[in-house]
Amino acid sequence: TTINNTYDVNSNLLRTTSTINSNGNEIKTRYKYPIDYANVPLAPIPATDEAHDIAALQINNIVNVPVEVNNSIVKGGVEYITGGKLNYFENLKLEKILELEVNSLINSNSFNFSTINTSGFLSDNRYKEKIFFSKYDNKGNPLEVKQADGITTSYVWGHNNQYLIAKVVNATYQDITNT
């Protein structure tokens, strides 16, 4: 199997990976980064909109974290979306992960890739929240993560918050720090 990677000539960021499966169909993964979103005037956009968080990533030169990752298959010359992930940020940290709910192949022409315009951040409405990062420590390590199914996982970091020493499933961070 040969995997072809395409990189951006200016930023050297990975843009696409592709391979041909045993049926002769191309399997692709497409990456979109903070620098791929237009710089639009933020004043008319509500401060809570993701456009402000992407602008903050750009301003702070945090450009190598994917905002959107899409998987697709090309069959008979037509590209179909098979999956995707959308990352939301807050205070320069990952806030939540949304995953694309795909019940059948989605023609790429009817899929709304994420974008920013004067209305704010827009994405396909088939993305659903799967993970929410509710607490971080002062080093940026996650302390509490909530799954869409309601399960909360908490983390304890040691040695000056450098090493993970405990992962506790089905407990809030407050539960484990108050014991």
Q: Which pLDDT tens digit goes with each residue over 56-110?
A: 999 999 999 999 999 999 999 999 999 999 999 999 999 999 999 999 999 999 9
Indicate the average pLDDT of the chain.
Answer: 94
User: Would you report the helix, strand and coil content of the chain in percent, each value rounded to 5?
Assistant: 10, 45, 40
- Residue 79 identity (one-letter amino acid): E
Least Cα distance to 27 among 65, 49, 1, 61 occurs for 1
Q: What is the pTM of this model?
A: 0.91
What local confidence, expressed as pLDDT, does residue 179 receive?
Answer: 63
Q: Tell whether the model's pLDDT for residue 12 goes beyond 80.
A: yes
Cβ atoms of residues 85 and 43 within 8 Å:
no
- Go through the chain and tell me how many residues it has: 179
Least Cα distance to 40 among 23, 54, 27 occurs for 54
Give me the residue label for tokens 């993305």. Answer: 127
